[in-house]
Amino acid sequence: MKTKLRALPQALTLVALGVILAGCSGGDKSGAGGQGGAPEVSIVTIQPTAQQIERELPGRTSPYRVAEIRPQVGGIVQKRLFTEGGNVKAGELLYQINPEVYQAAFDSAKATLDRAEASLVTLKLKAERYKDLVAINGVSKQEFDDAQAAKQQAQADVAAARAAVDGAKINLTYSRVTSPISGVIGKSSVTEGALLSVGQVAPLATVQQLDPMYVDISQSSAELLRLKREFGHLVGKSGIPVSIILEDGSLHKEAGKLEFTDVTVDAGTGSVSLRVLVPNPQHDLLPGMFVRARLQQAEVKDALLVPQQALSRTPTGEARVMLVGAGDKVEARTVTANRTIGNSWLVSQGLKAGDRVIVEGLQKIQPGIAVKTIAAKLDKAIPNGASAVASAPAVAH
């Protein structure tokens, strides 16, 4: 009996030892699994790239030149010599106003001029004869002075008559209503037989030059100032290329260029006007169309881009990314990211070339733990050196 009791503690000891060994064995497995099974994360290695920051801004098209055809003399319309909606050339005859009254006025003015010129010839000869006679006292000094005055008056009459002829000729010319520019003419507001008057309110027709076309766009003055402060050297510079996106989403075949940026801010909207000149040989753009203009507003030579999913915000609004640092350990980094370019954030502060930013697996990590890294497989919407449409600034940090 004593032998059995003596063996019982030994058995219990062996059982406890087995449990401890089993526990140690399990602990070793867990440790091995923790070391060999460290959280796996996908990373991107930050490399600087050249980026052109572009913006899409709404705009309206307007013709390059517009001419409202109005009569400069009154009268009855005899003929309309154009097809509505057709192309006309500069100087082409559009309307013929009855010219009879103006022809008669011109003929009368011409006859008056001829009479004045004939009278001037006689008075010139008389003045020259009196000049010789007064030298030998053949005529009095008074008669000589009267001859000179009569000659000068005749010269003035000729000048007045010549001016009257020119005026009558102008009016006669104005009876032919021509187009001052080349372009597309709209509908006519009058027909043959209509009575026209000088200064009438309604134009006879409107001619618009549609190639090239203007696209007038507007941009917030605050955004323009921010861009100038950040990038400066290209913002608002005339001549930069502009792509035009039509109402149906298609891209206009011809690229335009920025003509100028206005220097006045609209007090009502707080925006600045920009004007783009766009070739329009096929007349795809029509006056008054709503379009979107994509224009380059800045260029960043060493841009640091971070995929959007890699950046988060702290409760205070600061931008933060998780990096793999020394010893493959996770560290948090506060950065400044003011705007997006495509599917990435443009980081201006907080990162440098070569930093390894975690893109996937963020939910499994925390600062200070060791991780395994693999290269993230991302669809690069913005290849190195390509341009991208940038959003408006998001937040201050």
**pLDDT averaged over every residue in the chain:** 83
Range of the domain at 330: 40-51+302-389
Assess contact for 344 and 391: CB atoms under 8 A: no
Question: Helices (H) and strands (E) in the chain — how many of each?
Answer: 4, 20
Q: Does 156 fall in a domain?
A: yes
Q: Helices 141-174 and 100-135: crossing angle, nearest 10°?
A: 160
Question: Confidence band (pLDDT; 50, 70, 90) for 188?
Answer: very high
**Are 80 and 192 within one domain?**
yes
d(CA 361, CA 374): 11
Q: What is the pLDDT of residue 376?
A: 86
Helices (H), the chain: 2-36, 100-135, 141-174, 221-230
Written as one string, the DSSP assignment of 264-276 is EE-TTT-EEEEEE
Q: Are 269 and 376 in the same domain?
A: no
Same domain, 296 and 309: no
Give the tens place of pLDDT for each residue, 59-97. Answer: 999 999 999 999 999 999 999 999 999 999 999 999 999
- Do the domain assignments include residue 13? no
Specify the pLDDT at position 232: 55
Are 263 and 276 within one domain? Answer: yes
Is 11 part of a structural domain of the chain?
no
pLDDT band of 33, cuts 50, 70, 90: very low
Q: What is the pLDDT of residues 285-325, one digit of tens each?
A: 999 999 999 877 677 788 889 998 999 888 888 999 999 98
Statement to judge: residues 110 and 222 lie in one domain: no
Q: Is residue 168 domain-shared with residue 183, that is, in the same domain?
A: no
Task: Give the domain CATH number at 323.
Answer: 2.40.420.20
- Residues 249, 371, single domain; the answer is no
On whether both 122 and 59 belong to a single domain, the answer is no
Same domain, 291 and 377: no
Residue 82 DSSP symbol: S
CATH number reported for the structural domain that contains residue 182 in this entry: 2.40.50.100
Q: How many domains does the structure of the chain reveal?
A: 4
In a domain, 397, yes or no: no
For residue 98, is pLDDT > 70? yes
Residue 146 lies in a domain: yes
What is the CA angle 196-202-205, rounded to 5? 85
Which of 143-152, 211-220, 222-231, 376-385 is predicted least confidently? Answer: 376-385
Residues 263 and 193 grouped into a single domain: no
Whether 95 and 80 have beta carbons less than 8 Å apart is answered as yes
Tens-place pLDDT, residues 343-381: 888 898 899 989 999 999 888 888 999 999 898 887 654
Q: 237: pLDDT confidence band, cut at 50, 70 and 90?
A: low
Residues 381 and 275 in one domain: no
| 30, part of any domain | no
Domain annotation covers residue 161: yes
266 and 163 fall within a common domain: no
- Measured CA to CA, the distance from residue 67 to residue 218 in angstroms comes to 25
In this predicted structure, the answer to whether residue 386 has a pLDDT above a threshold of 60 is no
Higher pLDDT, 141 or 13: 141
